[in-house]
């Protein structure tokens, strides 16, 4: 029993990094501090704010566009903050303000080989949830996929098989992520990355094999 538990712990240790060992698209751990905000037209402020800076993406640049979708009253804001010291992107909508944040990654020199079977957005927290649309280009056209991100911490998976009409994920030329959140919505994202599901399954299979071997030895 103790040996089995030990093997399970060992498997868990292997599994933990394997599940997130994909290609990092953005960890929000590098680049300049970017602080964007928009306010409703009623307050006479800007309707959009944008910035561009180096990101922890392979040879790439992060372009950020923040727009308010609807808002009433004065001095109502939405705000997005990228601070490498925190290692995550923070977003906040004031009451009555709907906001959409668009992250666009461009791949310089070579096309981006995504690998794995999905791109995952890691939400550290979210109070009201959001609608997330991912759009990829492969030179031949663009494909997109939308998901509702629930409230609370969650890893939102965009499986390549779900994109319509479909794309060559081994040779992407562009990647765009649009996050639309409801009035008063707040969320934090820690990372955008690919997930190598086949490697994770291989580790699981290895763990099962070791357990089976121990059981067989005991029976003998």
Q: Which residues of the shown chain bind Ca ion in the complex (CB under 5 A)?
A: 27-29, 87, 127, 184, 186, 190-191
Alpha-carbon gap, residue 36 to 66, rounded angstroms: 7
The nearest distance, CB 105 to Ca ion, in angstroms, is: 15
The nearest distance, CB 182 to Ca ion, in angstroms, is: 9
- For 55, 56, 82, 83, 192, the CA distances from 32, given in Å and listed in that order, are 9, 11, 8, 7, 18
29/197 with CB nearer Ca ion: 29
Q: Tokens in use for 43?
A: 């307050």
Q: In angstroms, how far is CA 24 from the centroid of its own chain?
A: 10
The nearest distance, CB 35 to Ca ion, in angstroms, is: 17
156 Cβ neighbours under 8 A, 6+ residues apart: 120, 121, 122, 123, 132, 147, 149
Q: Tokens in use for 85?
A: 């010291």
31/137 with CB nearer Ca ion: 31
117/127 with CB nearer Ca ion: 127
The nearest distance, CB 11 to Ca ion, in angstroms, is: 26
91/163 with CB nearer Ca ion: 91
């Amino acid at each position: 029993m103790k040996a089995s538990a030990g093997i399970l712990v060992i498997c868990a240790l292997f599994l933990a990094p394997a599940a997130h060992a994909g290609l990092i698209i953005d960890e929000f751990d590098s680049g300049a501090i970017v602080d964007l905000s928009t306010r409703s037209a009623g307050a006479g402020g800007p309707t959009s704010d944008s910035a561009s800076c180096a990101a922890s993406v392979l040879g790439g640049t992060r372009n950020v566009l923040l727009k308010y979708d609807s808002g009433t009253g004065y001095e109502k804001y939405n705000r997005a903050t990228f601070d490498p010291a925190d290692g995550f992107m923070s977003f906040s909508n004031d009451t009555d303000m709907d906001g959409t944040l668009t992250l666009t990654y461009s791949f310089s020199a070579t096309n981006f080989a995504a690998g794995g079977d999905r791109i995952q957005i890691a939400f550290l927290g979210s109070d009201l949830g959001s609608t997330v649309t991912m759009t990829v280009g492969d030179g031949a056209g663009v494909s997109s996929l939308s998901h509702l991100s629930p409230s609370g911490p969650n890893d939102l998976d965009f499986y390549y098989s779900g994109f319509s009409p479909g794309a060559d994920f081994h040779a992407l030329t562009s990647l765009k992520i649009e996050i639309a959140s409801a009035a008063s919505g707040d969320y934090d994202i820690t990372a955008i990355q690919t997930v190598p599901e086949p490697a994770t399954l291989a580790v699981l299979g290895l763990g099962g094999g070791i357990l089976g071997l121990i059981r067989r030895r005991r029976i003998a």
